[in-house]
Structure formats: structure tokens, C-alpha cells
Amino acid sequence: MTHRRWSRRSLVGGALGGALLAAAGGPGARAAARTAGPAPLPPLDTSALRAAVFDLSHPPATSAQLLVDHQGERWYGTAGAAGLRSGRAVRPDDRFRAGSVTKTFVATVVLQLWAARRVDLDAPIGRYLPGLLPPASARITVAHLLNHTSGLPDHRGLPDLSTPEAVLRHRFDRWTPREWVRTVTYDPPKFRPGTVQEYRGVNYVLLALLVEELTGRRYGEAIASRVLRPLGLRRTLLPGGDPRLHGPHVRGYLRMTDGSLRDVTVHDQSGAWGEGELVSTAEDLFRFQQALFSGVLLPPHAMEKLFTTPPDDVRMPDGGPARYSMGLQKVTVNGVTFWGKTGETYGYRTRVFSTRDRRLRFVLSYTPTPLAAEEQMAARIAPLLVPPPPRRDGSGR
């Protein structure tokens, strides 16, 4: 794990709302956003979707799968192989690394604890985790961590993972959560908490530690007891110290600088503890999404936190509008607002998004091989799910 990786994660995590999809913003953006409205959505062009998924050259990838629910009609498409040696086709119950989708699970448990009055979102994190951060950062609130407005400083002392060969050399490095947090304690906050939104994985490392402090159990077990087992998500887990994927799964690969492919499926996830280590399946993420958006996991006042971004005067570092709520990300495709989460780890990418009313939702998982792959897969698929409206002159797109 490196500062570069986390910065790249931040960039790609925002790409679905930036270069790929126009980030929802402007006046009123902080309120619960409009979705597709009452009008019927255009029918799915399944042939075009199939072609988009089958293209494993842009970006180079070894597999892809897309699960869509379009106004109650389900469509599933897959391409490539779960593993280059086996050649087996990918299935919707195959496990894969879901990366930062982990954060939505952590946020759900924190909001459950808030709804039960076991934590105050406006309280400083130092009240619950004393001595972990220096005094200036200890004043950051739980809410600031949830919506990425903490201002925590950059990491120090992490290895440089700017090449795929370096990733392989360091893939069994071990970190404890407190060691990871310590790397952001050497400098003052980058900005006053609550004034800027900057996507940072370490925010959720602290939130996972908070879950452990409040529940008296490991955060993965808290998620399992509060989310996974009640929903029957038997193929989803937080692996802890286990670097392997067990049972049927999709393998991830990286392209080396000499052009060869190396299998990176087995990878220590301790540097992603609390914020990016989730292992899941397309089917399980689909069920979780349905339950979360339908209010099964949270009461209405907590649900509202999922669909509210910071005030309009809180901007991203690039000047764009804030697009993260307490656990989700907001993006707009051709006028339709989606909420969900992106996830990335070496060899894997996942996108889990839905309109708030659940009339259109999807899970996309694929295995790009470049260290910094472009967001071409989702960029092809998004406008097929929500085509642009016809031009006024009747000439279509």
C-alpha cells in the first residue's frame, strides 16, 4: 500500500462522477436528489450492453460481469474467464475483491449505531479513540470521517508502489490499523474539517476502529452480525489476515513492464483494513444494494444521511461540487441521478450504483490488468443504461 495507491483510488473512485459521468451538483444538490422520476426509463439495448461487456481491450481486462435490474427486469452479461488457467466463464456467485465498496458496509453499521444513540456523529473522534490522533486531528468529528471532509494530512512513510513490480514485492506487507493511522499523524490537517471534501481511505480505517470500540468486537464480525447474516450474504466476508480467495472466485492480474501478466489474486489486505478489503459477489452486492436502499438496514432518519451530500459551499480539491455522502457517492448520467460506490484494488474494479427509487440499478465488476487502467468499461456501459434524450430536431443522439 502506498500514498500513490490511495491517491489513485481517490481519482478512480471519483472518475465515475467526473470523466465518466457528470458529477451531480449545483443548487439543491445536497438534498436528497431527484432520480429518474415517474416517467418510464428507455428499454435496455441488451445487444449493445453485451458488446460493451465483451470488449476486454478497452481497458485491457481478463474478465467482466454486469448485473442490471431495469424496472424489475434483470439482465446479466459476462465475458472473459474467471482464471486464465481454468478458462472457466465467470458466474454471478464468484467471489472477487470489491475494494472500497467496503466503506458502504462500514458506514451502514456506524449509522445503525447512531440511530441506536450509541454514537454522536457531531462528536470528535478523539472522544471515542483517545490518543490515536494528535490534538488538532482529534477534533475531527465522526461525520467528517463519514463524508470525507476530515482534512487529515497525507500519509508518510509508505513504500513506493508506482510500478507493477513494486506491487508484487510489497503485496505481503503487513500493517496494523493503528500503524496505518500513524502515517497521517506527522503533519497538521490539510484544511479545516468540514470545509473541503477529499476522498480518503484512512477516514474509514478510523470508523472501523470506532465500530470495534463501540461494539466490543472486530469490525468484520460487527458487519457480519448486523448486515451479512441477516441478509443471507453467505459469499461476502471481510478476510482479515487471510490473503487468499476461497471457493469459486475471479482471479486478478497485473501487466508487468515487460508485458507479462502476473497473478495478484493472493494479496495481503491489511493495508486496506476497514476501508477496502471486502470480498463479495455480484449477486451478494445486488442483494445488499436492494436491502440498503429499501430501508431494511436503516431507519428513515439514518437513510437520509446516505442521500445527503455536504452543503454547496463545500467543494472537492479540484473545485467541483461535493459528491460523497455518509457512505455513498452521487453521480448523474444523462439527467438520472445514481447513488452507490466504486471499489478498486490491484487487479479488480467494482461499481455498485442505483437510482434512489431502485428502478435502475447495476453491479459491474471487472479485472483490468494495467496498474492505472482508464475508466473505459463503465464509460461505455453508463450511457447504454441511461441513453441521452432525443434531440429536439428529431435526429436522435
Name 377's Cβ contacts closer than 8 Å, sequence gap at least 6: 52, 55, 58, 59, 61, 64, 349, 364, 366, 368
In this structure, which long-range contacts are made by residues 130-138, counting pairs with CB atoms below 8 Å and at least 24 apart in sequence?
Answer: 132/178, 132/181, 132/206, 132/209, 133/181, 133/185, 133/206, 134/185, 136/188, 136/189, 137/184, 137/185, 137/189
For the chain, which ranges sit under pLDDT 50?
Answer: 1-15, 18-38
What CATH class is the domain 3-385? alpha beta
Counting Cβ atoms within 10 Å, is residue 251 exposed (0-12), middle (13-18) or buried (19+)? buried
Rounded to whole angstroms, how far apart are CA atoms 338 and 322?
14
Report the predicted TM-score, pTM, of the whole model to 2 decimal places: 0.92
**153 close to 117: Cβ distance less than 8 angstroms:** no
Q: How many Cα atoms sit within 13 Å of 89 on the Cβ side?
A: 8
Task: Give the angle subtended at the CA of 114 by the CAs of 116 and 122, to the nearest 5°.
Answer: 140
Closest C-alpha among 220, 204, 275, 277 to residue 243 = 277
Q: Which DSSP letter does residue 368 get? A: E
Q: Are 261 and 353 in contact (CB under 8 A)?
A: no
Task: Tell me the pLDDT tens digit for each residue of 31-67.
Answer: 334 444 446 788 999 999 999 999 999 999 999 999 9
**Res 268: pLDDT:** 97
Domain ranges of the chain: 3-385
Q: What pLDDT is recorded for position 60?
A: 98
Bridge partners of residue 254, in order along the sequence: 262
Q: Supply the pLDDT for residue 390.
A: 75
State the cell numbers at 334: 444523462
Residue 374, exposed/middle/buried by CB under 10 A (0-12, 13-18, 19+)? middle
Q: Write down the pLDDT at residue 39.
A: 63
- Strand residues in the chain grouped as ranges (E): 61-70, 73-80, 96-99, 253-255, 261-263, 278-280, 329-333, 336-345, 348-354, 360-368
Identify the DSSP state of 359. Answer: S
Distance of alpha carbon 92 from alpha carbon 113, whole angstroms: 32
